[in-house]
Amino acid sequence: MPIFKTGWLLLALISHSTFASASALTLKQAEELALSNNPALHSADSNVLAMAAIPPQAGSLPDPTLSLNALNLPVNSFSTTQENMTQMQLGISQSLPFPGKLGLKQEAAESIAEAASSNRDELRLLLLRNVRVHWWNLSYLDKALMIVQKNQALLRNLVRVSEAKYKTGKGLQQDVLLAQLELSKLLEKELSLKFERADQVAKLNALLGRDSATLVELPDNLPEISSSTPDVASLKQWAKDNRPMLISLTRHIDAAGSMVALAEKDYYPDFKLAAAYGVRQGVNPANRQSRSNLGSIMLSMTLPIYTGSKQDRALDQRKAEKAKAQYSWEDGLNRVNAEIDIAASDLRIAREQLSLFKQGIIPQARQTTASMLAGYQVNKVDFLNLVRAQLSEFNNDIQYWQLYARAQQAEARLAAAAGKKHLNGETDE
C-alpha cells in the first residue's frame, strides 16, 4: 500500500505542473476573446454596415440628367445664325417612378439589412456555442490525461510488484508480461489523447482569432453540473420569438412581400420630366430683330403594354419567392425545435448517467479495486483480475469526465438552439 500512495502523490505533483497554469484560460475569457477577435464575426459586422447603407440608396430618386445639345444646326455651313431654329440647348431631366415604388424598394432593402443584422447575431450565437463545445472537450481531455498518467504510475507499481513476486517464486512471468502490456496500452492512450487535445486547441484558437499553435491551459477546478431542468416548451417559444436565424427568415418574408407589392406597382407607368433652354443667335429676316431664345418643358411616361410577358411573369416570380421564404421559415422553425429536443434529451441523459457514475459505479469500482489489491497481496486474487479491476476503474473515471463534458456541451447546444446566450442565470436582453 505505501508504494501505491507514493505513486498517487507523485502523479498529483506531475499533473499539477503539467496542467496548472497561472494564465489558465477560463470559459468566460475564451468567450470574450472570440467575440472580440473572431474574423468571421468582424466580417459579419462589416456586412451589416454595408447592408445598412443600401436602403437610403434604394429609396432615392435616380440621378437627374443634364444635357447640352446643338439643335437644327445646318450641315452645309454649321452656322448658328443661318437658320431660325438653330439653337444651343441646355436641358435637364428627372425620372419619376410611379408613386410608392421607391418606398417599396426601400422597405425591401431595410428588411434585407435587418436580416443581415440577425445573421450576424446568429453567427455570434453559434460562435459562443462552438467555443464552449471545444473548451469543454479540452477540459475532458485534460482530465483524461491526468487519469491516464496516474494509472500509468499505478501499473508501473504493479509491474514492480509482479516482478518482485516472480523473482521470489511467488508470482508468474505472465503476470509481469500482462502488466507491461497494459502499461504500453496506456502509453498509446496518452499519445492518442495528446493528439486529440492538439486538434481541439487548434480549433479553439481559430475561433478565438489566434494563431493555432498558441498554448491553451485550462483551470484545474471546474464548475458543478447545473441541476435545473430546462422547460423545453418555454425554450421553443423563446426560440420562435428570438432566435436570430428565424428573425432573419422573417425579414426575408417581409422583403419578399415588399417585392410582390412592387411588382404590382409595375403595371403603372413611370414618368420623366424634362426642361430645356435654347439659345439662338443672329437676326430674324422677317422683322430684322434678334432671335429670341426658346424654352421647353416635356413630360413622358412608359407604356406597360407587354404585361403578359413582363409584368405578369414578374409578379408570379415575386409571389413564388415569397412562398419560398415562408416555407424556409417553417423549415427553420422545425429544425430549431428538433435541435432543442435533441439537446434537451442529451442533457437529461448525460445528467442521469453522471449521477449513476458518481453515486454508484465509481465508488463500487474503487471498492472492488481496493479489495482486489488487498487480496492479491496475500495471494487470494490472481493478477489478471486485479489488472481488470484497475482498468475498469480507469475507464470509469475517464467516462465520468467524458459525460461531464457532454452534459456541459449539451447545455451549450440547448442555449444556442433556443437563441439564448446563457441557458440559466443570465438574461439575453
Report DSSP letters for 169-205, one per residue: TSS-HHHHHHHHHHHHHHHHHHHHHHHHHHHHHHHHH
Q: Which residue, chain included where needed, has cell 455651313? A: 77
Q: What would the pLDDT profile of 75-103 be if each residue is shown by its tens digit?
A: 888 888 888 888 999 999 999 999 999 99
Instruction: Read off the pLDDT of each residue in 192-217 and give the average, rounded to a whole number.
Output: 91
Domain that holds residue 407: 2-61+97-268+304-418
Kindly report the backbone phi and psi dihedral angles of residue 67, in degrees, each rounded to the nearest multiple of 5, phi listed first: -130, 150
In a domain? residue 50: yes
Same domain, 220 and 155: yes
Question: What pLDDT, on the 0 to 100 scale, is given for residue 15?
Answer: 42
Q: Cα separation of 83 and 81, whole Å?
A: 6
Q: Residue 375 in contact with residue 109, Cβ under 8 Å?
A: no
In a domain, 252, yes or no: yes
236 and 127 in a common domain: yes
**Is residue 429 domain-resident?**
no
Instruction: Give the CATH number for residue 214.
Output: 1.20.1600.10
Residues 283, 161 share a domain: no
Residue 44: band (very low, low, confident or very high) from pLDDT cuts 50, 70, 90: very high
Give the number of other Cβ atoms within 10 Å of residue 118's Cβ.
Answer: 20
Whether residue 178 is contained in a domain is answered as yes
If asked whether residues 396 and 279 sit together in one domain, one would say no
What's the rounded mean pLDDT across residues 110-114? 96
Mean pLDDT for the chain? 85
Strand partners, 299: 273
Q: Are residues 52 and 110 in the same domain?
A: yes
**Domain limit, last residue, from 277, 303, 329:** 303
What is the pTM for the complete model shown? 0.82
**Amino acid 3: pLDDT:** 39
Residues 57-71 have pLDDT tens digits of: 999 999 999 999 999
Q: Which CA distances in Å does 329 have to 11, 118, 240, 366?
A: 55, 14, 10, 53
Number of Cβ within a 10 Å radius of residue 78:
10
C-alpha cell at 307: 404585361
144 with 218, same domain: the answer is yes
pLDDT band of residue 166 (cuts 50, 70, 90) is low
How far apart (Å, rounded) are the C-alpha atoms in residues 39 and 32? 14
Low-confidence winner among 173-177, 200-204, 231-235, 341-345 (lowest mean pLDDT): 173-177
My answer on whether 210 and 84 are in the same domain is no
160 and 285 fall within a common domain: no
Last residue of a domain, one of 281, 303, 325: 303
Highest mean pLDDT among 117-121, 212-216, 375-379 belongs to 117-121
The answer to whether residue 426 is domain-embedded is: no
- Residue 290 CB neighbour total at 10 angstroms: 11
Segment holding 301, helix H or strand E: strand 294-301
Largest CA distance in the chain: 145
Specify the amino acid at residue 334.
N
pLDDT-derived band at 7 (thresholds 50, 70, 90) equals very low
Among 1-10, 46-55, 338-347, the minimum mean pLDDT is found in 1-10
pLDDT band for position 190 (cuts 50, 70, 90): confident
Indicate the number of domains in the chain. 2
C-alpha torsion sign, points 18, 23, 28, 30:
negative
What is the DSSP annotation of 12-64? HHHHHHHH--TT---HHHHHHHHHHH-HHHHHHHHHHHHHHTHHHHHTSPPPP
Kindly state the percentage of the chain with pLDDT values over 90. 55
Q: Is residue 425 part of a domain?
A: no
Average pLDDT over residues 270-299: 90
Instruction: Give yes or no: residues 250 and 260 share one domain.
Output: yes
If asked whether residues 288 and 141 sit together in one domain, one would say no
**DSSP-assigned beta bridge partners for residue 274:** 93, 298
Where among 284, 303, 322 does a domain terminate?
303
The counts of H helices and E strands in the chain are 11, 6
Burial of 297 (0-12, 13-18, 19+ CB in 10 A): exposed
- Note whether 232 and 296 are same-domain residues: no
Q: Domain check: are 127 and 166 in the same one?
A: yes
Question: Does 352 fall in a domain?
Answer: yes
- Residue 254, pLDDT above cutoff 90: yes
Q: Which residues are CB-neighbours of 13 under 8 A, at least 6 positions away?
A: none
pLDDT at 6: 39
Lowest mean pLDDT among 28-42, 232-246, 386-400: 386-400
83, part of any domain: yes
d(CA 157, CA 145): 19
SS3 330: helix
